[in-house]
Amino acid sequence: MDVDQGHGVSELFKAQCKLYKHIYYFIESMSLKCAVQLGIPDIIHKNNQPITLPQLVSALDIPVSKANFLQRLMRILVHSGVFDTTKMHGNQEEEEEGYVLTSSSRLLLKDSPTNLPPAVIAMLDPVLMSPWFSLGEWIQGKERTPFEAYHGMSFWEYGKRNIKFINNLNESMASDSQLVSLVVKEHMEIFESVDSLVDVGGGTGTLARSIADAYPHMKCTVLDLPHVVANLPESENLKFVGGDMFKSIPSADAIIIKSVLLNWSDEDCIKILKRCRAAIPSKDEGGKLVLVEMVINDKKDEHELTKTRLFVDMEMMLICNGRGRNEEEWKKLFLEAGFSHYKITATSGLNSIIMVYP
């Protein structure tokens, strides 16, 4: 770069600014987590009108001396689009500014059917954040994942030994399933003529329960590890089975899998998919596999959507040797597992719906 010319200097400082932005990206994440921990979205919501900074200080019951710090926290979150501000006309001559919710922060309300606070807390847990400091060491080393390089054990083993940690993650997945269930309900034609369905790796059954409620005639089964499904409430058409998807999957007309395969390597995914293939009838008899998974398309998709998917891909690399996949990578897995064809339907979210047929 020629810094002797004016535009060269300008470009140099723009490049510096861009790098500093990347350096400080974590501040946006940590500020979001702080707002969730303090319950700020719910406080704004319960106020029933824009809330001023002094009102927010009072509602949080924090020292007045911390008001300036709270204002700076809210400023970055407003700039990031988590919250917004609006002008208020009070009794005073000067206009006041009040904080309001955005579509993003409405997802953080605890009483919302699609609340995501558990995801914020779980995914920003120090247990998952700390392994990033081992990324370079891992690339040069022999450990299977950065998580293993930092913690000295695999992600799955850590979960077995730390029940609170894995329960928080399960709660996070349940909150995500609440949102995904809205997408699935938009495509209920998928389940027409399906009399039995197995949700593989379905956790506490949030997604399966929404499908069972929509189709009372359908027999729905959730398969997950025994300690995950133990003592969960069942209904007439919703049952839970403790088991191992690598060993056996209950037979059904259709199988649904949500955000599970991205946790596993290609080799492991093929094993799971083969078990799915063996558990469903032929296509002529109505057999089908429904995947709700990411499909990376960095050539066509909107920039921010692709960036988020690539972030998820990196997170999977970090913790469990999983990965995000593009269409060609998915196709290869399906064919190697014995399926004949598939159809991808994009949604407005991170995941697509992939219909896979024997």
Residue finishing a domain among 60, 88, 107: 107
Q: How far is CA 307 from CA 78, 182, 221, 324, in A?
A: 21, 23, 34, 12
Q: How far is CA 323 from CA 104, 127, 141, 261, 312, in A?
A: 26, 19, 19, 8, 8
Same domain, 122 and 45: no
Same domain, 337 and 241: yes
Q: Is 286 part of a structural domain of the chain?
A: yes
Got the DSSP string for 206-271? HHHHHHHHH-TTSEEEEEE-HHHHTT---BTTEEEEE--TTT-----SEEEEES-GGGS-HHHHHH
Same domain, 246 and 176: yes
- Between β-strands 254-258 and 238-242, what pairing exists: parallel, antiparallel or unpaired? unpaired
φ and ψ at residue 101, rounded to 5 degrees: -80, 155
Residue 93: per-residue pLDDT: 59
What is the residue whose two structure tokens read 């403790």?
242
Is residue 121 within 8 Å of 36, Cβ to Cβ? yes
pLDDT, the chain, mean: 89
Same domain, 191 and 281: yes
CATH number for the domain including 12?
1.10.10.10
Q: pTM, whole model, 2 decimals?
A: 0.86
Q: Total structural domains in the chain?
A: 2
321: left (phi over 0), alpha (psi -120 to 50) or beta: left
Q: Is 332 part of a structural domain of the chain?
A: yes
For residue 192, give every residue at least 6 positions away whose Cβ sits within 8 Å of its Cβ, in sequence order, or none. none
Is residue 165 within 8 Å of 156, Cβ to Cβ? no
Same domain, 140 and 97: no
How sure is the predictor about 92, in pLDDT bands with cuts at 50, 70 and 90? low
Q: Is 202 part of a structural domain of the chain?
A: yes
Is residue 176 within 8 Å of 119, Cβ to Cβ? yes
pLDDT tops 60 at residue 6:
no
Residue finishing a domain among 83, 107, 131: 107
Same domain, 153 and 275: yes
Tokens of 326: 């593009």
Is residue 260 within 8 Å of 322, Cβ to Cβ? no
Give CA angle at 237 (234, 239), nearest 5°: 40
CATH number for the domain including 326?
3.40.50.150
Residue finishing a domain among 75, 107, 139: 107
Residue 7: per-residue pLDDT: 64
Same domain, 73 and 122: no
Q: Is 270 part of a structural domain of the chain?
A: yes
The mean pLDDT value for 113-136 works out to: 89
Q: Is 211 part of a structural domain of the chain?
A: yes
Q: Is 265 part of a structural domain of the chain?
A: yes
Same domain, 212 and 284: yes
Is residue 31 within 8 Å of 73, Cβ to Cβ? yes
Q: Is 1 part of a structural domain of the chain?
A: no
Same domain, 33 and 155: no
Give dist(CA 309, CA 317) in Å, integer: 12
What is the per-residue pLDDT across 174-224, written as a single tens digit (0 to 9) for each? 777 666 667 667 777 888 789 999 999 998 898 899 889 888 889 999 999
Give dist(CA 287, CA 284) in Å, integer: 7
φ and ψ at residue 96, rounded to 5 degrees: -105, 160
Same domain, 158 and 263: yes
Same domain, 343 and 218: yes
φ and ψ at residue 204, rounded to 5 degrees: -85, 5
φ and ψ at residue 156, rounded to 5 degrees: -65, -40
Give dist(CA 291, CA 278) in Å, integer: 16
> 335 lies in which domain range?
116-357
Q: Is 164 part of a structural domain of the chain?
A: yes
What is the per-residue pLDDT across 295-318, written as a single tens digit (0 to 9) for each? 999 888 888 889 999 999 999 999
Longest dimension (CA), the chain: 77
Residue 215: per-residue pLDDT: 87
Same domain, 42 and 134: no
Tokens of 255: 């199988």
Question: 345 - beta bridge partners?
Answer: 353
What is the per-residue pLDDT across 56-90, written as a single tens digit (0 to 9) for each? 999 999 998 999 999 999 999 999 999 999 988 76
Residue 62: per-residue pLDDT: 92
The mean pLDDT value for 80-108 works out to: 86
